[in-house]
Structures are given as structure tokens and as C-alpha cells.
Amino acid sequence: EAIPEDWRQALEWEKSQLPEVLDAHTQQVIEGISIRAMKLHNERECWLMDAPEPLRQHLAAIHGPLVASLAKEVGYSEEDVEFCKDFQQGFEAIGVTPHSDHFSAPCDKSMPVMTEEELLALRRPSNERIIQSLKEDEHSQFMHEMTEKDLGRGWMSAPEQLQDWMVTGLLMSRRLAVVEHRSHVAGGWRFRLVDDLSESFVNSAAGGDYKIVSQGLDTLKAMAFCMLMVGMHFDIWKADVAGAFRTCVYKYAHWPLMAVVYLLMGVPMVACHRRMALGGVTSVYAWHRVAGFILSVVVRKGCCVAARYVDDFFGIRRKGCRVQALQLLEAVCFFCGWPLGPEKSKHSMLAMVLLGCKV
């Protein structure tokens, strides 16, 4: 029950074919995507020029025509009708996210509770309240360095000292440094920057008519059970996309709504997001839509047993295969323009840490 029909078909294919047949099919799909990417090279330039001018530098790595072609082939463009348009024109920071049938369930409670007009009316009093309540701590220098690093990646504008026009021209959110545990990081802990988009009411003006249905360890358990029931040995694999939320670009008109503010040596510093921020409701929706496309290609076109929890992709592969499902995932991400984080990729494993648990 935890596995939808597409996944069941992939499992049946995995169970019924010899390893060399699975290898040949997966390799054929990888090569086919590579060839298609090259054939659509000229269309890629035209696609980029059709994007809004301020977004072009952010979309330069994306192969839009390849994404559109694959989305149509695997039926993803029917599940998420607005997907191909939105990642070219920019995802909205506020408003109602276009509907997606991919791993979703109807939910009226996810709809925005504030209009854009109401949000803009609160801009000045909200900014003044947040600026007055700022406190400097031992993480302020770190926040500034990471903001400048995001500038270098093209994810944010340059941080600059607060000016009078910003109080009425931008909508500011408080920037926070959050400590989180990560087993792959030296020392086991790291800082992550999160922006409080609820305090600034941005999240109140964002939402959708559905909630996202996550796939987790129960999905992996169901996959493994299906293989073990027929006495089939298998390995497990995992991977994640580097800077997942940051692969999604904001709609240009909403850039002024995505400012952040923090103190540095007693001076308020302000910068604006260009890519989806951690802490935003629409960031979750936007990445769900991008990741849903990636997963659909791997499962439906590649017939690979795979699933996803936010930016963590995982799955199983029949033992004896030389061409791994992870290789197909890497190919899809590489040719479409969303690179994986190689340091977190693991394949052909009997045991690993997945979603914080050892499996």
C-alpha cells in the first residue's frame, strides 16, 4: 500500500529481469538522455532567451527543453501542468502554488491566509518591528560570511547596510543561524542559515490547495519486503541534490519580498534572495515539484526502484547489477542542470544511514 503503481511496475521489472538485462536498459536510458540533450542544444539557447532577463544567469545551467521533453514523455507535465513554465519564469514567493498531483493530497488548510495586498500593507510596520528587535550574537560574523558566500554563488544580492528606502521598498525577514546534527560533517554538527519568513508574514501569504505526501523509511521497507518475498537479494543506495531549495529561482517581481536582515558589529545588514530560501512555504512546494520531475524520470523511464524524502533520494537495486540506479539519477540531474552532492551519494550498500536512521 505504501508503493504507488509506477513503483510497483518498477519493482516487477527489477524482480523479473536478469542483472545484465537491467544493466543494458539503464545504460540505454542514460545514453538516450545524453543524446537528446545534445540534439536540443540550439533549443536550449532559445529557451534561455525566452526567460525574463534578470533570471537568465540563474537558469544558464538548466537544460529547459530537455526537462520539458522528459516531463512530457513520462507524463509529469500532466501531473503538474504549470511546472515547465514556472521553472523558466520563476517560482512565486507568495500566493497559491499551482496544483500538482505528484505525491499530494487535498488540503484546504494549506491555503494562504493573507493576500499580497495585505502583506504589502504590513511591510513598513513589520520591517520596523524586526529591525528594532535584532540582537547580535556570536553567530553574526558567520551569518555575514555565509551571506557573502551565497552572493558568490549567485543565490543572493550583496549584503549592504540598511538604508531608509529599504524599510518601505523591501520586506525583511530575520536571518537566523541554526545548529543541526549531520553525521557526515566533521564533529557531527554544523550551522545552517534559516530565515524567519513566518515572523515577516511571508508564509502567511503563501500556500497551496494540497499537502505534500512524503516517502520515508516505510517506503524503503515496502520495497525491501517485495524483493525478499521472492528471495531476491538487493543493495540499497541514496543521494541528494546539492543546495536543493537553492536550485529554484524566485519570480523576479517577488525579489523585493525576499530580503533578510541581521546585525553585524551593531549595523543592520540587508540582502535579498534570488533563489528559494530555507524557511519559506513556497520553497518546499517549488522543490517538491522539481524533485518530483527528477524522480518520475528515474522511475517511469528508467524502471528503477527509487523514492524521495525532500532532497534525499533512495532506492534498491538487484544484486549483481553493474549499472546502478544511482547512475541514472546522476545522469538526469547532470544533463538537466541540478547537480547531486557527491559526498552524500552511496550505492551498492548493505547498510547505511538514511534519514537519520541506520538501515
Q: Is the pLDDT of residue 205 over 90?
A: yes
Q: What element of type H or E holds 191? A: strand 189-196
Q: How much is the mean pLDDT over the chain?
A: 90
Mean pLDDT of 141-160: 94
pLDDT tens, residue by residue, 16-36: 999 999 999 999 999 999 999
Q: Is the pLDDT of residue 164 over 70?
A: yes
pLDDT tens, residue by residue, 80-136: 999 999 999 999 999 999 999 998 998 878 899 999 999 999 999 999 999 999 999
Least confident of 38-42, 137-141, 164-168: 137-141
pTM: 0.92
Q: Which three cell numbers stand for residue 49?
A: 532567451
Interatomic CA distance for residues 126 and 304, integer angstroms? 48
Q: Is the pLDDT of residue 2 over 60?
A: no
pLDDT tens, residue by residue, 312-357: 899 888 899 999 999 999 999 999 998 887 666 676 666 666 766 6
The pLDDT value given to residue 226 = 84
Least confident of 37-46, 70-79, 132-141, 163-172: 132-141
The pLDDT value given to residue 85 = 95
- Sequential DSSP letters for 266-325: TEEEEEEBSBPPTT-HHHHHHHHHHHHHHHHIIIIIT--EEEEETTEEEEEEETT-SS-H
Interatomic CA distance for residues 297 and 305, integer angstroms? 11
The pLDDT value given to residue 224 = 85
pLDDT band for position 139 (50/70/90)? confident
The segment with the largest mean pLDDT, out of 1-15, 28-42, 132-146, is 28-42
Mean pLDDT of 140-146: 93
Q: How many CB atoms are closer than 10 A to CB 42?
A: 9
